[in-house]
Amino acid sequence: MDKHVTWMKKFSIVLLAMAMLVSLCACGSGQDANATPAEVIKAAQEKMAEVTSMSYDMIMDMEMGIAEQSFVMNTTATADQIVEPLQMKMEMSMNMGELGTTATTMYIAQEDGKFMCYMGMDDGTGNMIWQKQEMTDVDEIMAQYDGKESMDVYISSAEGFVENGSEEINGEEATRYDGTISKDAMNEALETSGALSQFSSLGLSEDALASMINDLGEMPISIWIGKDSGLPVKYDMDMTTVMQNLMTNMMDSMGGSADMELTISKMTISMTLRNFNGVEAIEIPAEAQAAQAL
């Protein structure tokens, strides 16, 4: 396999991990008909603390290229989450076109004061190969996997929301609000989320990682708030410009050559939230619990 394709396949998994960090979600009862967009968003944000569990569905589309080769990846994920103590189940499918499709299932659980991650990957025959690992950095775990906390960071970072019509989401009429995360807020949010640590496997120093978030540009974000529930029921983010700037900075930090120039022509994430306070328990399969520890 061409070295560029091999590098892109490895790198796309790192990029997906980072994108997941900046796209997790949360929720917030009833929307004031006379409220301004800022007031509606703030009210939804304040209600996030009331949510004890939720589910969400995510779609991420990415188109990227290196040298003269192009690469398309479509990722879908479904997750259930209990906020306290943190428990999570995520089923994810990543379609990389000619490079194939991978299916993974992940569980996160807080057990006896420890955070454990159980990861299963389909071996291609329908059987799951499981591994487990203790996760020691609690702050990073919460930034990556606590959907409520992650969404709070991005709602707090966005500004200039304007109402832009309505549509039915999960059987509820929802109002759309379009806003922007400024470049300064974007840099701060990425740094706060711990997302850049995902690139440590590429051999980048702390100084190089820090330089990557310089002047990433603005990021459009749209949020749909249920008219009856007051909950955020969907959001979309167009991360194309931010990710392209991030990749350019990264390649500069790595001393990349012209034949390794990487372009991001599309990266969008859409997430739909549902089943608020409806996840009562998440059971980890026995075969996952019995897996070899990393």
* Mean pLDDT, all residues of the chain: 77
Of the pLDDT bands very low, low, confident and very high (cuts 50, 70, 90), residue 177 is very high
Strands 292-293 and 128-135: parallel
- Residue 37 reports pLDDT greater than 80: yes
CB contact at 8 A, 37 and 162: yes
At residue 28, the pLDDT reads 36
* b/e sequence 201-222, b meaning 16+ C-beta within 10 Å: eeebeeebbeebbeebbebbbb
The pLDDT tens digits of the residues spanning 56-93 come to 898 989 888 877 778 888 989 899 999 888 889 999 89
| Percent of the chain whose predicted confidence (pLDDT) is above 70 | 70
CA dist 89 and 221 (Å) reads: 26
The pLDDT tens digits of the residues spanning 234-279 come to 988 888 888 888 778 777 776 665 556 778 899 898 889 899 999 9
CB contact at 8 A, 71 and 97: yes
Least confident of 218-222, 231-235, 245-249: 245-249
Q: Is 101 helix (H, G, I), strand (E, B) or coil?
A: strand
| Percent of the chain whose predicted confidence (pLDDT) is above 90 | 20
Strands 232-238 and 114-122: unpaired
User: Cα–Cα–Cα angle for 269, 180, 245, nearest 5°?
Assistant: 65
Q: Which residue has the tokens 């955070």?
A: 115
> Which residue type occupies 164?
N
Segment 220-235 mean pLDDT: 89
- Residue 38 reports pLDDT greater than 50: yes
CA dist 238 and 242 (Å) reads: 9
Q: Which residue has the tokens 């997941």?
A: 20
At residue 41, the pLDDT reads 83
At residue 146, the pLDDT reads 56
The pLDDT tens digits of the residues spanning 196-212 come to 555 665 666 667 666 77
Global pTM value? 0.79
CA dist 207 and 197 (Å) reads: 12
- Residue 117 reports pLDDT greater than 50: yes
What are the chain's domains? 3-276 (2.50.20.20)
CA dist 217 and 183 (Å) reads: 4
At residue 21, the pLDDT reads 44
CB contact at 8 A, 17 and 74: no
Most confident residue range from 32-41, 184-193, 204-213:
32-41
CA atoms within 13 A on the CB side of 242: 25
At residue 171, the pLDDT reads 92
